[in-house]
Structure 1
Amino acid sequence: MALLGKTGDGKSSSGNTILSGKIFTTQCSPESSTAECKSGVAMVGGRTVTVIDTPGIFDTRLSEEVIKSEIIRSITECAPAVDAFVIVLKVGKYTEQEIQILDKIVECYGEDTFKHGVVLFTHGEDLDGQTIEAFVKKSPKLQELVNKCGGRCHVIDNKQWKKRFWGNRRNKVHVKNMLETIDKMVKENGCYTNELLSSVEEDIQDEMNGMDTIHLTPEEKREAAKKKVHKKYLIRFAGVATGTLVGAFMGIGVAVGSVVALLKAAKLPKTFQAIATGVTAASTLASTAGGAATATAAATAALAGAIGGGITGYKAAEEADSVRDAIKMATKANCENAKEAVRKAEQIPSNVYKTCTVYSDRNNFLAKI
């Protein structure tokens, strides 16, 4: 299971509670103590459970390059699939700021993600005797989120309840209930995966197959392979916005398609990469045609632009010494390409745009370009 949520709501502590051990670093602080995605494994109730503790997606304390690095690490940790996304929230008063965070969660997560989502509340001791269901009903926004997750809602207390050895108000009971909920959810909806996670798994397997060492266990080989893939993706995704990566991870279709297209295009021979980059200029013409271009043409242009821009950024960032430099170099290269595309577009007669309306079929439009 992958733990998701905002800074300070207790993801790391929840991971420790679920695994019954001090696997993840926790501390009493208004800032996030998780600046790196980490996974932990333990036997829980007679089964092997893996928990992935992700950095706070909404953590403003971290720099852009650190957040991007950890989102990429989260993707490699979750590949090829996860059983559940556990959205960790805190029992307490929901101010306007908390409501905005809930809106962002609903906005960032794809509909398919919610089919594999479970809401887990921490600080259960603060319920003051009421049930978690009664607490949720007091907030329409909370109720909306829980409803999107199929009504799957649980509560733990990472401090008080872990000291209890009997009764319903102890964490072992609630963790057991949550695992049973996840079992039922997986039986009904399967595991969560998407094309991005599948592509990442292929790269991990390729790295593992390329290792000639015989002194590593399969688990050690996989860890080494994930580190190599993470490093490669830091450069490859240097020109991709962090929000796009989050959207791709959480199953938003457009984001998944653009990021996967970039991964596939980067594997092509350089001749085909040049063609894909050339499509960027052509797609710029199509997208600037306004009313003359069809909606299909505009969508195709956007995807082609993402591929071309991603390759340009990847090539420009290959020589970078750090993630920050890679982002700067990739952005500069794409900016220069965009200026050149616009300059060339201004030199082309306006009647060229008329061809866009003829090729409303996606394949014919691509063939014309």
Structure 2
Amino acid sequence: MGATESQPKKRIVLLGKTGDGKSSAGNTILRQQVFTSKASANSVTAECVSGDGKVDGRKITVIDTPGIFDTGLDEETIKSEIIRSLIESAPGPDVFTIVLKVGRYTGQEMEIVDKIVEYCGDDTFKHSVILFTHGEQLEGQTIEEFVKQSPKLQELVDKCGGRCHVIDSKYWKKRHMGYKSNRVQVKNLLDTIEQKLKDNENACYTNELFQTVEEEIQEEMKNINEDSLPLIEKREMAKKIVHKKLLIRLAGVATGTLTGAFLGIGVAVASVVALLKAANIPGVVKAGTVAGAAAAGATGIAAAGTVAVEAGLVAGSGIGAAGSGIAAGVFLGAAALAGAIGGGVTGFKAADEGDSVSGAIKNAAKLNYENAKGAVKKAQKHQYKLFKKEESTMRL
């Protein structure tokens, strides 16, 4: 058995816009048809899908995400698939592969580059590579020469440490040697990923949100009383359970904030994690005595955080949302409703002061996160008092 047999699978997450060839790129990397791809003005990948394979002696998992930088999918679908992407990638991807298309980069094409720069945290770029598709459009240039023609593209590649490759899923399939060979280019891509991991001491990209999701998966695996099931099947069952639970807990979080948390904007990560932790605090859920954990959206894409309202017993099961473009979530009791509205107002005001998507997310999440931290501490203190009271009663 070779050394590569014992190595864990490398998790490669594909990010990009509808029509730029994410799904085709995934198939090209894996050398098999795993992902549905076709020429379409609409997004083909409407849900997060993963595929496993072994390429050049390396075991890899490729995770194809929906177009989280697009507006074609409805908010709830995007939210569900970002959560699924978090679960599929946990405890964190080894690399984000940002998929772009070779072609003319005018105003519309630059929008996706701007969005990527806006949403990704600096640490995300340290764990990213750029993969261009439609390499035949280079017309004799190298991909490095093509990138140099656009300052914005060059800036993005520089943010990713110069890691940049190109494939062509239509014209470069059959050649096994030379620049215009997918086999050569994919090998180069995987070599770059290996080198990046060595530079990062073989650490994958992760943050507190990915770690929290992984803990949830591990906990659910323990609860599956099927000793005969292989671990991989237990994990798949656990992931489905966690997906349903997170959809409920994060019902009120704006898609922009989830995207920011997934891609490493620090305050967005902290805000979502605070909400998840608040929702895990045990307590009794009764109408009028619930402190609702609330996430709020503003301007349809940005602003979220968590606010808990002090009203008797604290239980983070009331989840709500308020803000332009975001549907209301689940409200349990008058206090939860108040918490949701409060979170919405706070989020909207903070987001409105932001001068960019990232700024809006950071402003709103920071304010609501600070409120959430205090609420979680109060909830924990309250639970401790209840515990001590129950302990004293038992002694009597």
TM-score range, shorter chain: 0.7 to 0.9
- Check 1:277–1:21 CA distance in 2 against 1; reply closer, same or farther (3 A cut): same
Output one character per residue of 1:303-323: Cα deviation in whole Å (capped at 9) or x when no partner: 9x71428x9884257xxxxxx
The answer to whether the aligner puts 1:193 opposite 2:206 as a matched pair is yes
- 1:112 is aligned to 123
- Check 1:191–1:338 CA distance in 2 against 1; reply closer, same or farther (3 A cut): closer
- Inter-partner Cα distance in structure 2 for 1:135 and 1:224: 45
Tell me how far 1:166 sits from its aligned partner: 2.9
- Inter-partner Cα distance in structure 1 for 2:279 and 2:339: 18
The answer to whether the aligner puts 1:315 opposite 2:318 as a matched pair is yes
Q: Residues 212 and 273 of structure 2 are in contact (CA less than 8 Å); yes or no, is this contact kept in structure 1?
A: yes
Tell me how far 1:366 sits from its aligned partner: 5.4
- 1:81 is aligned to 92
1:119-134 equivalences in 2 (<5 Å):
119-134=130-145
What are the ranges of 5 or more consecutive residues in structure 2 without an aligned counterpart?
Answer: 1-11, 295-302, 321-325, 345-369, 379-396
- 1:277 is aligned to 291
Q: Residues 82 and 192 of structure 1 are in contact (CA less than 8 Å); yes or no, is this contact kept in structure 2?
A: yes
- Inter-partner Cα distance in structure 1 for 2:170 and 2:122: 33
- Check 1:275–1:85 CA distance in 2 against 1; reply closer, same or farther (3 A cut): farther
Tell me how far 1:331 sits from its aligned partner: 7.7
- Inter-partner Cα distance in structure 2 for 1:308 and 1:221: 34
Q: Residues 132 and 166 of structure 2 are in contact (CA less than 8 Å); yes or no, is this contact kept in structure 1?
A: yes
Q: Residues 239 and 313 of structure 1 are in contact (CA less than 8 Å); yes or no, is this contact kept in structure 2?
A: no
Output one character per residue of 1:57-78: Cα deviation in whole Å (capped at 9) or x when no partner: 1222211100000000000001
Q: Residues 313 and 331 of structure 1 are in contact (CA less than 8 Å); yes or no, is this contact kept in structure 2?
A: no
- 1:210 is aligned to 223
Q: Residues 306 and 343 of structure 2 are in contact (CA less than 8 Å); yes or no, is this contact kept in structure 1?
A: no
- Inter-partner Cα distance in structure 1 for 2:142 and 2:39: 26
Residue type of the alignment partner of 2:248: I
Output one character per residue of 1:102-125: Cα deviation in whole Å (capped at 9) or x when no partner: 111100001100000100000001
Tell me how far 1:241 sits from its aligned partner: 0.7
Residue type of the alignment partner of 1:315: G
1:1-369 equivalences in 2 (<5 Å):
1-189=12-200, 190-270=203-283, 277=291, 306-308=306-308, 314-315=317-318, 327-330=327-330, 336-337=338-339
Q: For 1:118, what is the secondary structure of its paired residue? A: strand
Q: For 2:165, what is the secondary structure of its paired residue? A: strand
After the TM superposition, which of the residue ranges 333-342 and 81-90 deviates more from structure 2?
A: 333-342
Q: Residues 57 and 67 of structure 1 are in contact (CA less than 8 Å); yes or no, is this contact kept in structure 2?
A: yes
- Check 1:312–1:140 CA distance in 2 against 1; reply closer, same or farther (3 A cut): farther
Residue type of the alignment partner of 2:192: T
- 1:357 is aligned to none
Residue type of the alignment partner of 1:330: V
- Check 1:248–1:338 CA distance in 2 against 1; reply closer, same or farther (3 A cut): closer
Q: Residues 276 and 308 of structure 1 are in contact (CA less than 8 Å); yes or no, is this contact kept in structure 2?
A: no
- Check 1:178–1:276 CA distance in 2 against 1; reply closer, same or farther (3 A cut): farther
- Check 1:261–1:275 CA distance in 2 against 1; reply closer, same or farther (3 A cut): farther
Q: Residues 27 and 33 of structure 1 are in contact (CA less than 8 Å); yes or no, is this contact kept in structure 2?
A: yes
Higher relative helix content: 1
- Inter-partner Cα distance in structure 1 for 2:343 and 2:94: 44
The TM-score, its normalising length taken from structure 1, stands at 0.79
- Inter-partner Cα distance in structure 1 for 2:340 and 2:255: 20
Aligned length: 318
Output one character per residue of 1:166-209: Cα deviation in whole Å (capped at 9) or x when no partner: 32310010101111111111111231000000000000001101
Q: Residues 261 and 307 of structure 1 are in contact (CA less than 8 Å); yes or no, is this contact kept in structure 2?
A: no
Q: Residues 121 and 155 of structure 1 are in contact (CA less than 8 Å); yes or no, is this contact kept in structure 2?
A: yes
- Check 1:142–1:216 CA distance in 2 against 1; reply closer, same or farther (3 A cut): same
- Inter-partner Cα distance in structure 1 for 2:71 and 2:110: 17
Q: Residues 133 and 168 of structure 2 are in contact (CA less than 8 Å); yes or no, is this contact kept in structure 1?
A: yes
Bigger relative contact order, structure 1 or 2 (CA pairs below 8 A, ≥6 apart) = 1
Tell me how far 1:266 sits from its aligned partner: 1.1
- Inter-partner Cα distance in structure 2 for 1:209 and 1:335: 34
Residue type of the alignment partner of 2:156: L
What are the ranges of 5 or more consecutive residues in structure 1 without an aligned counterpart?
Answer: 281-301, 318-325, 343-361
